[in-house]
Amino acid sequence: MRLTAEVSVTRGDREYEATLTIAPTETGDFKASEVCMSLVHPMDPESVSGARLVERKGDWHRLALAVPWSGDAPLVLGFRGAGRLPKVTDQPYGVYLVTPDGCVEVDVAGSARREVCQGAPVSGDGLAFVPRPQRVEVDGAPLGCPAALHFSGDAWNTDWLLRLWERFDEVEAPRLDEAGLAVREERAPALSSAFELSVRGDGIFLQHRDRAGFQAGQAYLMQYLLQWPLAGSLPACELAGEPRFGYRGVHLDVVRHFFDAGTIRGWLDVLALFQFNRFHWHLTDDDGWRVESRVYPQINETANWRGHGLALPPQMGTGPSAYGGFYTVADVRDTVERARSLGIEIVPEMDVPGHARALLKALPELVEADDRSEYRSVQHHNDNVLNPAMEATHTVINTLLDEWCELFPGPLFHLGSDEVPEGAWLESPTAKAWADRSGESPANLHGAFMADLEKAVQAHGKTPAGWEEIRTGERVSPATWVFSWQGVEAGQAAAEAGHPVVMTPAQHCYFDLAVTEDADDPGYYWAGTVDLSDVWHYNPLEGLSDEAQGRIQGVQACLWTEIVTTPGEAEFMWFPRLLGLAEVAWGSNRDGGYVEFEHRAGQWMSILAHLGIQGRARSMGW
């Protein structure tokens, strides 16, 4: 049985008033004692009518009904809270009733509008590359798509090409055959650009300066080879280019909502097409710990599952049934290998000391029983911060670092360090003892812990990184990379102070933010809206001294998944905005301006649709 409900919202300047009405059942043969739901902007407990708020953990609210409900008449609940709830994605979701026989889910009317781009025919006159290389020379003579291709040598990643071609529906792609059109490559260390690619009627030839140049040139060739069978014929061309930044990243939160390893690997195939070479894998947070631990199996058993009655309650609308998952050691290794084959380095993130509620629930020995500190995180948790003054914290985190550093061979290791709420540790006896020994405030434990972890990561031969808050107390050295997220200012300050910096300001790079202010257009809005033009026009070096500009390693798109529940929804938020950031990261030839880019983006959105990617339709506004 599933029930239905409607929500009505009255919006003030700073406060909302909402009514949730659950429709009566046909039978009315059960008694519900509680209503539970996810709500982004918490309700005021004193404002609730028809029930009493008895528990709130994060965005999960549990309300005891004033009178048990049997379903024979509408159930009406009223409440108020801070904020305006301007988006349909702000409304209560993951609603369910608790009855003696179990939980009953409630479908809430009103959903986000997601019009998906369709796979229109691809014109042979419209050869397009994203990001646009610095040099593109097109010969108007059309080349018919060959029946077969022959790749010489073992450098080519033909498995990648075949996986992409297999996604096409009712499109016949060339076969790989020794009698096919010759595809050759050659290393040329003295080449003036990273690569030069020539596609002619008598063959395809890629010259490259080094391995990175080969990967870049191969990605452009893959773009050509995807367009060729769709169009039937394309003009001959010559391409050459050099990336603007060495770090061209895409971040994905797999904690708030989980995406299996096969889905991740499929996305890597697509990201590599557009010259992205880093995948920042956000693997831990308050709501889950997504990497298998062989040392602490209780993490796998407890920290990865949310549901009614579990140690971690439902969050972000996941409802009463057990929700979650984790990546096994084999999953991680297979994904790392797929990324390596595509020229992508994986940057794992273990987010500490805040955002650690899942770990604390799995390992309660990390909780100090006598800690009376009072705090509330941005996500409304009061129990999500590790205590760096406890020896057990260091033992566990260093052991997990050992496990992770063996799994992830890349040079960069992200430690999170963001959003540690004010008030943590202030009433912890262990933290007070640390303060007495060090002569510092317990609040300084954040910076001290990051300095300790910096050394631990370096001992594994890796470079530490963190969000902009990793500079709290200025305890980490300039060797630590800083990811600027709340705006450009923190990144600029870190670069001027000597840190390598990745710019990922929300106003240009957070793709969980909505594209428009329309109520049914999904996404957050705390940093405004981010449309394709906002992304494409972003200049990461603006406002920096020449010396600091040299410390900007690159840019990164971030997708947080509180309201992104399926692979299709992730793709809807990513595309076409990822195409805009690809141009920023590569430093594309901008002849023709934004209008010309938007035309190329439109062509690629159609190609992506043929690949099964559910990008945002132009009709919704880009």
**What's the CATH code of the domain at 432?**
3.20.20.80
291 and 356, same structural domain? yes
- The residues pairing with 429 across neighbouring beta strands, listed in sequence order, are none
429 and 555, same structural domain? yes
Determine the pLDDT at residue 126. Answer: 76
Q: What are phi and psi of 509, to 5 degrees?
A: -125, 0
Q: Is residue 426 part of a domain?
A: yes
Is 416:354 a contact under the CB 8 Å cutoff? yes
Mean local confidence (pLDDT), 321-333: 99
pLDDT at 68 over 70: yes
pLDDT at 385 over 90: yes
Q: How confident is the model at residue 589 (pLDDT cuts 50, 70, 90)?
A: confident
Determine the pLDDT at residue 28. Answer: 63
Q: Is residue 508 part of a domain?
A: yes
Determine the pLDDT at residue 141. Answer: 80
Positive or negative: CA dihedral 214, 216, 219, 223: negative
Question: Using CA atoms, how far apart are residues 455 and 163, in angstroms rounded to an integer?
Answer: 41
Q: Is residue 424 part of a domain?
A: yes
Is 328:406 a contact under the CB 8 Å cutoff? no
459 and 388, same structural domain? yes
433 and 290, same structural domain? yes
Q: How confident is the model at residue 567 (pLDDT cuts 50, 70, 90)?
A: very high
151 and 294, same structural domain? no
pLDDT at 444 over 70: yes
281 and 176, same structural domain? no
Tens digits of residue pLDDT in 457-479 = 999 999 999 999 999 999 999 99
Residue 480 token pair: 């630590």
Kindly list the catalytic residues: 419
> Which residue in the block uniquely carries the two structure tokens 């390693």?
553
Q: How confident is the model at residue 170 (pLDDT cuts 50, 70, 90)?
A: confident
108, 123, 154: which is the final residue of a domain?
108
Question: Using CA atoms, how far apart are residues 317 and 474, in angstroms rounded to an integer?
Answer: 38
Which of 519, 526, 514, 612 is closest to 564 using CA atoms? Answer: 514
374 and 453, same structural domain? yes
Tens digits of residue pLDDT in 504-522 = 999 999 999 999 999 999 9
pLDDT at 1 over 90: no
CATH number at residue 128: 3.30.379.10
pLDDT at 437 over 90: yes
The CB-based long-range contact list for 514-520 (8 Å cut-off, 24+ gap) reads 514/87, 515/577, 515/616, 515/620, 515/621, 515/622, 516/620, 516/621, 517/86, 518/113, 519/86, 519/87, 519/88, 520/87, 520/88, 520/111, 520/112, 520/113
CATH number at residue 30: 2.60.40.290
Mean local confidence (pLDDT), 135-149: 92
126 and 102, same structural domain? no
Is 227:199 a contact under the CB 8 Å cutoff? no
Q: How confident is the model at residue 120 (pLDDT cuts 50, 70, 90)?
A: confident
108, 125, 144: which is the final residue of a domain?
108
Contacts of 524 (CB under 8 A, 6+ apart): 87, 89, 510, 512, 513, 514, 562, 563
494 and 450, same structural domain? yes
193 and 276, same structural domain? no
One-letter amino acid of 376: R
322 and 199, same structural domain? no
| Domains in the chain, number | 3
Q: Is residue 503 part of a domain?
A: yes
Is 144:232 a contact under the CB 8 Å cutoff? yes
Residue 454 token pair: 């910096």
314 and 204, same structural domain? no
Triad 346, 251, 166: Cα angle to 5°:
75
Tens digits of residue pLDDT in 12-44 = 889 999 999 999 887 667 899 999 999 999 999
Domain range for residue 84? 3-108
Q: Is residue 530 part of a domain?
A: no
Q: Is residue 345 part of a domain?
A: yes
In DSSP notation, 212-245 reads HHHHHHHHHHHHHHHHHHHHSEEEEEEEEE--S-
Tens digits of residue pLDDT in 186-209 = 999 999 999 999 999 999 999 999
Q: How confident is the model at residue 121 (pLDDT cuts 50, 70, 90)?
A: confident
Q: What is the CA radius of gyration of the chain?
A: 26
Tens digits of residue pLDDT in 513-546 = 999 999 999 999 999 999 999 999 999 999 999 9
80, 108, 136: which is the final residue of a domain?
108
Q: Is residue 439 part of a domain?
A: yes
Q: Is 280 strand, coil or helix?
A: strand
Q: Is residue 532 part of a domain?
A: no
Residue 95 token pair: 């609603």
Triad 35, 38, 40: Cα angle to 5°:
140
Q: How confident is the model at residue 119 (pLDDT cuts 50, 70, 90)?
A: confident
Rounded to the nearest integer, the mean pLDDT of the chain is 96
